[in-house]
Structure 1
Amino acid sequence: MGTFVIKKRNNGEFQFDLKAGNGQTILTSEGYTTKSGCENGIESVRTNSQDESRFERKISANMKYYFSLKASNGQIIGTSEMYESSSSRDKGVDSVQSNAKGAKVDDQTV
């Protein structure tokens, strides 16, 4: 089972990482100015990750593969790490889909 880990950045913004059961980070959020905004982002990942069309598969300038998860309004909720192959990226998408819905929250800002 996955875990959403809420952290505070050096600039004071909140962010979350979705970690798979093995502890590997599979999705990192954008920065949020408030913790409640960050928590809403987690709920958005839970919902939107269940819709395959919300994942945008991309290739970086240095030919690494990654994906972004978008909300229904088109805003990016989170981005993956860089992968060496498209099949590894697709496994990352699968991992987000299977881990996000039931993931617990580990708030490391308290």
Structure 2
Amino acid sequence: MAARYVLKKASNGYRFNLVAPNGQIIATSESYTTKANALAGIESVRANADAPVDDQTG
């Protein structure tokens, strides 16, 4: 199974999780007031996920 986005209704709107093939949640979104905005957030992650690492550990 490939990674997937799981969209859920939350008490204050909608959220999505990015779930790894092994079932682990690897990212959780902010809360969105509408389902359409949450789906747009998923599309934004898809489009912008290829980003460099900003290592601020040292």
User: Which category of TM-score, normalised to the shorter sequence, fits these structures?
Assistant: 0.7 to 0.9
Amino acid at match of 1:39: L
Write the distance in 2 (CA, Å) between the matches of 1:30 and 1:58. 23
| Cα deviation, residue 51, structure 1 | 2.1
Shift of 1:57: 5.5
The residue number in structure 2 matching 1:16 is: 16
SS where residue 21 of structure 1 aligns?
coil
Divergent runs of 4+, >3 A = 56-59
Q: In the alignment, which residue of structure 2 is the partner of 1:26? A: 26
CA deviations 1:29-62 (Å, max 9, x no partner) are 0000010100000000101111226xx5667xxx
Aligned residues: 56
Q: Secondary structure at the match of 2:37?
A: helix
Query: Unaligned stretches of 5+ in structure 1?
Result: 60-110
Distance 2:40 2:25 in 1: 19
Corresponding residue number in structure 2 for 1:48: 48
Higher relative contact order (CA 8 A, sep 6+): 1
CA separation in 2, counterparts of 1:57 and 1:23? 26
Name the Cα RMSD after superposition: 1.8
Give the TM-score, by structure 1 length: 0.46
Structure with higher helix content: 1
CA distance in structure 2 between the aligned counterparts of 1:58 and 1:14, rounded to whole angstroms: 31
Q: TM-score, normalization: structure 2?
A: 0.84
Change (3 A) 1:57 1:33: farther
Alpha-carbon distance in structure 1 between the residues aligned to 2:6 and 2:55: 24
Identity %: 45
